[in-house]
Chains A and B, each alone.
Chain A
């Protein structure tokens, strides 16, 4: 098990190299740089632009920039010794990328984890209830409902949620805290956060809830018709015990694989939800950095997204090993 985790963690390194290389290449293939817009303004002299370009290191060829960026990111000092890794400097907000991103990264993480929590706490009970009743009407209605959920575009759902929040006034629009939240006691702050996060998390979770519920229901159905369930019933176990101890535990394995996948999806999907619903996460930051060609911010958020995705998959593999004793990684 330990060697497996170690191997997986080591395999992330070449992928991260690949991802940073591809990202750097893509960003540099795009026309212009951060200073292009500034140079259009008549108030800024060309000499000043040249000076800034040299200061930012944008005058060097892209592979040199990439090398320097990698060197700054590495914890090793040339020629010997250690240093603090540096993600670079944001051109537009004039502060270190790390300071800028730290909070945003955590916010996106909070949003995704809350969405994941909603997904599992809604989808699994839904699947359990609909799988155990062999009623044709409940079945038709619930599968129709799930199919609608899978196909419901996030863009429409976010806009409808905004409309709902604005129309009823029950939920705040945008942001994650109310004004002056710093002075509140811990529990009111927590309630305030819940109040702000509910709609974005729900919108983010919505289609994944349907995906997971559909999948879980199928898995449960398969398990419930297996021989060992009949045996468990024949031994005189109560129906709820059969369900909890035998059916659910066997049905959950394929679902755990979905966990990693859904986490990866959430990262990509949170982009749009954050922008529409005003959640101060990585999505908005990346979008602005992309438009202003804020090179190092863009690189950092691409890496952050990639790490999210890879760690999500790794997490799913590990959970699978824990939940299924038959799986042993060597």
Chain B
């Protein structure tokens, strides 16, 4: 447990870990935390700026938070005017959703009575609540990285392990393939593999669940090469060591020696590498969806939410549309800090 202590002594890693827990927790309980459904459109409130939460009473003094209802006063200049106020309520009933995708519920942490609205981060071009969409989008954007890296790690471990341990023709073949994969610039490769999978079958677009699986597959197929090359190198040096020779002398099968004795010794590198690979995958998903090649509307992903910002007019007048990118920044930052702390902890010699 020495490693844990070193990790905890690191200044940033525990905070980063906590932030990651918060982000993933928010994604898990998106339904409860989001005031609205991600697809609910408030057509009369499109591109609404973030709702101000007031604490100051008109009569002076401070009290419970409230918001002012708004209506579009000047459609030409897109100006919203505030009128009657409504208190911010906790644990309100609202749009239906499923907790963990199983238990139906309609309880929300925050809410405001009609006709007031609680757009914490404003609304998009169709009047959908950006904050709610960020939370639901996190379910996709954050997990693509996690699952993708898990599969990449399994591929890297098995391919690198087999190549390094068996050697000979298998090794040469696998490593030449890995070299070819690594020679194609990453994003070009991602795009070409993405292109194999159809956008639509017949007339209907494929579902966002299918796209989700496609994205994970694409990322895993591009990332394995780099990892398996390093693992192979580590296996090559490990297999010459005495404890492996001893295991071989005792008649352990190749598979058993590889899985039980060699690969566990690469675990430190694998964990660090995987932690630092997750943000790269998350960014790749966001980029693909941003370019319109990933998760399709109306399902939210941080990437396709940013697509609206490609229009300069939108970017200039409704800057809150960039909010998902700041969440992306936070996530990447947290993963980098956490991975760095892990590396320090694991590279420390006992």
Contacts and interface: CB of A to CB of B under 8 A. Distances in A.
Interface residues of A, number: 46
Given A29-B196, A162-B315, A163-B316, A147 B179 contact: no
A308 B286 CA distance: 25
Contacts of B286: 153, 155
B291 A166 contact: no
A12 to B, nearest CB: 9
Contact of B183 (A19, A27, A154, A269): A19
A302 B192 contact: yes
Contact of B337 (A19, A147, A309): A147
B268 interface: no
Interface in A235-291: 264, 267-269, 271-272, 275-276, 286-287, 290
Contact of A150 (B185, B326, B336): B336
The SS class assigned to the A binding surface is: helix
A301 B181 CA distance: 16
Interface of A: 14-15, 18-19, 22-23, 26-27, 29-31, 147-148, 150-156, 159-160, 162-163, 166-167, 173, 264, 267-269, 271-272, 275-276, 286-287, 290, 298, 301-302, 305-306, 308-310
Contacts of A267: 185
The SS class assigned to the B binding surface is: helix
B306 A163 contact: no
The 3 nearest A-B residue pairs measured at CB: A18-B180, A156-B325, A151-B333
B315 to A, nearest CB: 5
A173 B312 contact: yes
A309 B183 contact: yes
Nearest to A266: B185
A29 B319 CA distance: 40
13 contacts: A18-B177, A22-B184, A147-B333, A151-B279, A151-B333, A153-B329, A153-B332, A155-B306, A166-B315, A167-B316, A264-B185, A271-B188, A286-B188
Contacts of A14: 176
A305 B184 contact: yes
Interface residues of B, number: 40
Nearest to A310: B183
A156 to B, nearest CB: 4
A67 B160 CA distance: 32
Nearest to A14: B176
B219 interface: no
Contacts, number: 114
A163 B321 CA distance: 12
Given A27-B192, A27-B195, A150-B336, 19 more contacts: A14-B176, A18-B176, A22-B180, A22-B184, A26-B196, A30-B195, A30-B196, A147-B333, A154-B283, A155-B286, A156-B329, A159-B325, A163-B315, A167-B316, A269-B187, A271-B187, A301-B188, A302-B184, A308-B185
A111 to B, nearest CB: 14
Residue from B184, B191, B197, B309 having most chain A Cβ neighbours under 10 A:
B184
Interface string B264-280: 00000000000000010
Residue from B181, B188, B333 having most chain A Cβ neighbours under 10 A:
B188
A152 B286 CA distance: 14
B184 A19 contact: yes
A126 to B, nearest CB: 19
B314 to A, nearest CB: 10
Given A271-B188, A302-B188, A166 B283 contact: no
Given A147-B336, A147-B337, A156 B188 contact: no
Contact of B291 (A275, A301, A308): A275
Contacts of B312: 162, 166, 173
B305 to A, nearest CB: 11
Contacts of A290: 191-192, 195
Contacts of B325: 153, 155-156, 159
